[in-house]
Amino acid sequence: MTYEDALRMTDREVWSRLSEEGKVEVLQAVEDHVAGECGRDARTVESAWLYTGDDGIELGRYQTGDQTIYVNASQLGEGSLYGSDPDKMVETVLHEGRHAFQHDVAEGRVPCEDAETARVWARNLEPGGYVRFDENPRAYWNQPVEADARGFASDRLSQLRAERADVAERDVARETTGEDRGERDLGVGGDGHDGAREAFESGGDEWAEQSAVAQRRGHGLSRM
């Protein structure tokens, strides 16, 4: 699946008709494209049952061990809180993909123009440096890698929405152009013989001679 195909499928109506596997395939295409933009290796996107409770929903998780981005399978089905909101799941993959980028930078696999940012991320991601939500929700929210991932995902989602709108406009333009061409070929807007008449008049004596021959053979004048 191409990135452009994925943009089309993140339309709410199209998304609602996809299976869980289809939705994961769309999210994988988004991850593949954005990873390329960031100069890192794309991670595998999979669905899994993550925490869902009265105090919140874990929409996604990046697992460093198996280099996998997991999205909550409970939120890919109809009737769930975010089941009809493709952008929320796309934003989740963008957020978790940013964590993959942060790990790559901290471990020296991907260069970072800002050396200080790389050092801050490395300290935040070292053992004992990362604060989990259940340990301290406020500290979790404000720590460098989470603040950066939220900002990146929000900005890239805005860009994705604009790209999706551009693709939709191009699709409509192509459909409209095709309809207009079909109407012209059928002579819509005239008496149904405008095209033949124009060709006959512009053809001069040659067309007149062909017409006479055709009529003598008992055939009407046709255009190939």
pLDDT tens per residue across span 54-95: 878 999 999 999 999 999 999 999 889 999 999 999 999 999
Residue appearing with tokens 């004048």 = 221
Q: What is residue 211's predicted lDDT score, i.e. its pLDDT?
A: 39
The amino acid present at 138, given as its one-letter code, is: R
Residues with Cβ within 8 Å of 24's Cβ and at least 6 positions away in sequence, in order, are: 45, 46, 47, 71, 76
Q: What is the mean pLDDT of residues 182-205?
A: 46
Sheet strands (E) in the chain:
44-48, 52-53, 56-57, 60-63, 68-72
Q: What is residue 79's predicted lDDT score, i.e. its pLDDT?
A: 87
Is 71 in contact with 24 (CB distance < 8 Å)? yes
The pLDDT tens digits for 153-168 are 999 999 999 999 999 9
| Other Cβ atoms within 10 Å of 100 Cβ, number | 24
Find residue 72's DSSP bridge partners. 48
The pLDDT tens digits for 95-109 are 999 999 999 999 999
The pLDDT tens digits for 117-141 are 999 999 999 999 999 998 999 999 9
